[in-house]
Chain A
């Protein structure tokens, strides 16, 4: 039963409250993921610690070659921010399309990663963009990449006494473009069947860097290493992008997400490695493998267009 709802006004104060009773406290960003965990939460949690009034977490700015986004940045703010728009077309696309307007007005970018869901649209993009998370506790701060944000399926690697305070993304370099593609059953209010994000750096039509990520894979998204290895040094042509897509499907393993285990209806899933929790859109591994090459090719072509624009 919730005893108190607290609004610390600084990170320092939030950490101080959190450390008092970490097991009975719950940090709240937008709060949009509690519908899944709500029933369980109500039993075990005494304190909600809402970060919404910590001003220092509400800013987006440029610093030392990075764009820094405070932990309170909502998806709506992210998708409309001039610095984000200038630098990361993939991030704009993903944050402008998740859920619905109502969800995006509340949900934070950080919450989308810390809730540990393997289908996270934003984690897929942030991994491709090589984002760094700043995590603080009372002893100090550490930095970590998307791949180290996951402990296991559905559970983040964050300790109960830690807070994510910001996300730093390397600024777009000369010749860089990025893109995001999600396959969805309908536009709006649907979880992704699969997500693909790409970052491409090209100089005189020769590929200098190519990072392609995909989800849902457990526990978080993955970089499809084979694509980078194949594309770097080659020409940015449709043929090479098609080839990259075919390579992709050989080098990662999707799961089938068949039956409703109850996780979406407010019941916590009791299965280990439940493939429904991997992605609440029922779909087969085979189908995902068959569409992956198409999405990879599209993503790379779109990223290339973003450069030439």
Chain B
């Protein structure tokens, strides 16, 4: 096993991990760094459960060799709440009952955060596009969309 030191920013903090650079980012986040919020559904880029932000963009962490993130910034679901305060999207998902089994939820929240960071005023088309890569087997998406619309309006009120 050939391990390399790989340094990157995880949820704002500098991290060094020793891993094979060909290991997938999601495995390193979960198994080496112990952050279990990021889920694994398919490992083929087809479900979005593993979504994290890489330099601000939503990506599938199951498709990224960890070597690729050297020097970059990775944000997982654990980094979405700031200063002990939930992000408006987290609040809205809870209030609206947009979570059932919860397996897809971290990925959906990270995708929604990436959307809000780029565009605080998304229309329904923008929301659909941002969530295109996140599969949910439980909710039927309606509550999820409602929660995102509500969060967007709360962000605008706060901002």
Contact = CB atoms under 8 A, between A and B. Distances in A.
Given A32-B45, A102-B45, A1 B22 contact: yes
A5 B21 contact: yes
Contacts of A35: 43-45, 62-63
Contacts of A189: 46, 132-133, 135
B32 interface: no
A102 B112 CA distance: 12
A58 interface: no
A115 to B, nearest CB: 13
Contacts of B70: 5, 7
Contacts of A188: 128, 132-133
Interface stretch (B7-15, B52-60, B89-97, B150-158): B52-60
B21 A48 contact: yes
- Interface range for B: 20 to 34
A106 B67 contact: no
Contact of B133 (A7, A34, A36, A101): A101
A266 B44 contact: yes
B84 interface: no
Interface of B: 1-2, 4, 20-22, 43-46, 48, 51, 54, 57-60, 62-65, 67-68, 70, 111, 114, 128-135
- Report the 8 A-B pairs with minimum CB-CB distance, sorted nearest first: A100-B133, A5-B67, A2-B22, A5-B21, A188-B132, A105-B57, A102-B133, A100-B132
18 contacts: A1-B22, A2-B65, A4-B2, A4-B4, A5-B22, A5-B70, A28-B68, A34-B65, A35-B44, A42-B22, A50-B68, A101-B133, A102-B133, A106-B63, A188-B133, A189-B132, A264-B44, A265-B44
Nearest to A188: B132
A31 B65 contact: yes
A188 B128 CA distance: 9
A40 to B, nearest CB: 13
Interface of A: 1-5, 7, 28, 31-32, 34-36, 41-42, 45, 48, 50, 52, 76, 99-103, 105-106, 187-189, 264-266
A259 B158 CA distance: 53
Given A2-B21, A4-B4, A102 B65 contact: no
B87 to A, nearest CB: 18
Given A2-B2, A5-B70, 18 more contacts: A1-B2, A2-B20, A2-B22, A2-B65, A5-B4, A7-B70, A32-B60, A35-B43, A35-B63, A41-B22, A50-B67, A101-B129, A102-B51, A103-B133, A105-B54, A105-B58, A189-B133, A264-B44
Q: Majority SS of interface residues in chain A? A: mixed
Contacts of B63: 31-32, 34-35, 103, 106
A32 B68 CA distance: 12
Contacts of A52: 68
A271 B121 CA distance: 49
A102 B111 CA distance: 8
A102 B60 contact: yes
Contacts of A103: 45, 60, 63, 133
A45 B132 CA distance: 33
B57 A5 contact: no
